[in-house]
Amino acid sequence: MNTILRGIWASVMATGSMTLTLFGYFKKLPFLQKAPLPPALLSEDVVAKTGISKFLNSQKQQQVTMVSHFGYGAAAGVVYAFLAEKIPGSNPLVKGAAFGLAVWAASYYGLIPGLGLASAGARMTKQRNLMMAVSHVVWGSSLAFAEQELRHRGKDMLDGRQHPLRAH
């Protein structure tokens, strides 16, 4: 499997884990902090700034949120796939957790405020920032594990033509 596809697929798996973590953590937030999750707020802000929000009902906005959330994760997953063997250390969970925290910090304290979007980390409460940091650790660890498994074992497990009992 080539590096780009490996990064995309590993991140799709990892973004699913991250999203479930966000859903679980959200339930534990104090009532006054239960605003929509940051990916939803970001997506809403982007579509409002681009002028396409008038074309989206609530269901379509939710779809845009999920596509952009998984798309951003996939892009970051591709970056990880190219860097994975260059990042020092052998434990993918540690490497991935560090990468996840780096993506969170660069996104919520660099890119998002740099683009003038509302969900910057500095505007969130400590609890919501912790929720985002923890979910990015889950994402990064899941990403690193999935990427490593796809890199080392994916060919044998995913290529049905390579079964030893299959007649050629």
Distance CA 152, CA 164 (A): 19
pLDDT digits (tens, 9 = 90+) for 27-80: 999 998 888 899 999 999 999 888 888 889 999 999 999 999 999 999 999 999
Residue 165 belongs to a domain: no
For the record, the structure tokens of 123 come out as 């505007």
Number of domains in the chain: 1
Residue 164 belongs to a domain: no
Please answer whether residues 132 and 39 qualify as being in contact, where contact means their C-beta atoms are separated by less than 8 angstroms: no
Please answer whether residues 131 and 26 qualify as being in contact, where contact means their C-beta atoms are separated by less than 8 angstroms: yes
pLDDT at residue number 168: 54
Full-model pTM? 0.88
Residue 66 belongs to a domain: yes
pLDDT band at residue 119 under the 50/70/90 scheme: confident
Residue 113 belongs to a domain: yes
Residue 106 belongs to a domain: yes
Residue 159 belongs to a domain: no
Residue 64 belongs to a domain: yes
The domain in which residue 9 lies consists of 3-153
pLDDT at residue number 164: 64
Residue 63 belongs to a domain: yes
**Range among 2-16, 41-55, 107-121 rated most confident:** 2-16
Distance CA 20, CA 26 (A): 10
Question: Which CA distances in Å does 140 have to 70, 130, 149, 160, 162?
Answer: 13, 15, 14, 29, 31
Q: What is the DSSP annotation of 52-71?
A: -GGG--HHHHHHHHHHHHHH
pLDDT at residue number 99: 97
